[in-house]
């Protein structure tokens, strides 16, 4: 993504018909108030649309995540006016990589496109911060609304609203368009026949929290070697200091290895931390909550990202980076792109022209991420082969220049016209087949 985003589209005054005047509950319904849904809703409301944001749970609520935010995600927070200097945000300088018997600290690169620092914030309140920000922009947020399916127009078959359960009662909401930001399970997408692609990688993440003196670490820490006995697994472990007296400790694994289905991930995490130094405090008695897990849909594993009045953003469309399992940055970025597309579409004078704009949305995403996600697919397929991960770790770690290149590649942190490493990564992303 380039540093300078295009000017935000806004609806002309003549295009702004209130939802109540047209018999709708909102111009756009956004299902799911995670990072993707709240970002989409924020930009839609900023452009003058009436927006209904439906969340099945109630804030505050837990979400399985490493809680680490790379400079890509930080940029999106800054652009939305989130106060990242307020209490509760913990800054970090970069990534500490552990592997092959070595430790290597890599500062986030200095780029014109992104800030040179990352953040940590627990998902227990991170999502609420974004949802509250959307509400301040004019979004109507309804919590405890469990969307059960789409409402289809009898003639066109387009989505014109959703059915839901609210306080034990069946309810219905209507709109001109619906945004599916309902995560990996994405009930709306499944109702329209959008199933997961089996040729895309899938990951799983498990994590817990420990009270620890390492809670204020200046670096996010990644361990490249996950051993299950004498078997090296495709994935990585992490230790992220939360800054509140606890560390988020977890691991992510990929389905590109035959062992994927037979691993007890929670037990693997417990066995992994038992090998940590005792002074770090990663023991059962210091755990502040249970070990929780979640699926990581990667590399556009659900397509198309628009069909019949339904727009997919974030995890619902498999928009997680296969290289590193990062999802929050791409949830917010695709939410912003979706909002731009929807605003432009709803300003068109005819249904045919609106549909033409919406049908271009999947290609916009492919142009932005398709080649890079394909490179990520090649990467995870390679490290799933026995011996490849071990070879790569031991031969890359001793070379600082190669490790800095790897940080940029795995984090998707480049400038459009940057240094030689930026140009190589950008060129590879352009020539790779689109995901």
pLDDT digits over 175-190, tens only?
A: 999 999 999 989 999 9
Phi, psi of 125 (to 5 degrees): -125, -10
Predicted confidence (pLDDT) at residue 424 exceeds the cutoff of 90 = yes
Q: Give Rg (Cα) of the chain.
A: 22
Predicted confidence (pLDDT) at residue 23 exceeds the cutoff of 60 = no
Predicted confidence (pLDDT) at residue 256 exceeds the cutoff of 80 = no
Which of these, 76, 33, 36, lies nearest to 52 by C-alpha position?
33
What tens digit of pLDDT does each residue of 157-174 get?
Answer: 999 999 999 999 999 999
Q: Which whole number is the average pLDDT over 217-236?
A: 86
Query: Of 261 and 94, which is predicted with more confidence?
Result: 94
- On whether the CB atoms of residues 234 and 62 are closer than 8 A, the answer is no
| CB proximity list for 370: less than 8 A, separation 6 or greater | 300, 432, 433, 434, 435
- On whether the CB atoms of residues 56 and 370 are closer than 8 A, the answer is no
- Calpha distance 215→190 (Å, rounded): 40
Predicted confidence (pLDDT) at residue 199 exceeds the cutoff of 80 = yes
- Calpha distance 232→388 (Å, rounded): 10
Place of tokens 């940057």: 418
Structure tokens at 388: 């490849």
| Burial of 190 per CB tally in 10 Å (0-12, 13-18, 19+) | middle
| CB proximity list for 248: less than 8 A, separation 6 or greater | 66, 67, 68, 120, 122, 207, 208, 209, 238, 239, 240, 241, 242
């Amino acid at each position: 993504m380039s540093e300078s985003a295009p000017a935000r589209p806004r609806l002309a005054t003549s295009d702004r018909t209130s939802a109540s005047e047209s018999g709708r509950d909102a111009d756009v319904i956004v299902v799911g108030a995670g990072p993707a849904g709240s970002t989409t809703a924020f930009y839609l409301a900023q452009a003058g649309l009436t927006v209904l944001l439906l969340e099945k749970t109630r804030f505050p609520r837990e979400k399985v995540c490493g809680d680490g935010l790379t400079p890509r995600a930080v940029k999106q927070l800054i652009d939305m006016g989130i106060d990242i200097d307020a209490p509760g945000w913990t800054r970090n300088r970069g990534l500490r990589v552990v592997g092959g018997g070595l430790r290597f600290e890599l500062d986030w690169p200095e780029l014109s496109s992104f800030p040179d620092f990352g953040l940590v914030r627990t998902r227990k309140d991170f999502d609420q911060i974004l949802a509250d920000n959307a509400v301040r922009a004019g979004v109507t947020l309804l919590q405890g609304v469990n969307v059960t399916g789409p409402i289809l127009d009898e003639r066109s078959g387009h989505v014109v609203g959703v059915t839901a359960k609210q306080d034990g009662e069946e309810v219905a909401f209507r709109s001109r368009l619906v945004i599916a930001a309902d995560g990996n399970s994405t009930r709306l997408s499944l109702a329209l026949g959008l199933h997961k692609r089996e040729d895309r990688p899938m990951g799983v993440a498990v994590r817990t929290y420990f009270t620890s003196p390492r809670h204020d670490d200046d670096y996010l820490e990644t361990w490249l070697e996950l051993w299950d006995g004498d078997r090296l697994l495709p994935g990585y472990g992490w230790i992220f200091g939360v800054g509140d007296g606890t560390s988020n400790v977890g691991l992510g694994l990929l389905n590109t290895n035959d062992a994927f289905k037979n691993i007890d991930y929670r037990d693997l995490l417990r066995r992994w931390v038992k090998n940590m130094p005792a002074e770090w405090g990663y023991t059962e008695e210091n755990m502040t909550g249970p070990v929780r897990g979640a699926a990581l849909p990667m590399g556009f594993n659900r397509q198309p990202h628009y069909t019949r009045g339904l727009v997919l953003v974030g995890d619902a469309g498999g928009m997680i980076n296969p290289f590193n399992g990062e999802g929050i940055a791409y949830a917010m970025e695709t939410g912003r792109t979706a909002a731009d597309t929807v605003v432009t579409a709803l300003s068109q004078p005819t249904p045919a022209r609106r549909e033409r704009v919406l049908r271009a949305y999947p290609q916009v995403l492919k142009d932005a991420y398709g080649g890079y996600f394909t490179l990520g697919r090649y990467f995870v397929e390679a490290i799933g082969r026995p011996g490849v991960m071990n070879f790569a770790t031991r031969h890359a770690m001793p070379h600082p220049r190669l490790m800095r290149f790897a940080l940029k590649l795995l984090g998707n942190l480049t400038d459009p016209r940057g240094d030689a490493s930026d140009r190589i990564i950008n060129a590879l992303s352009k020539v790779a087949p689109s995901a």
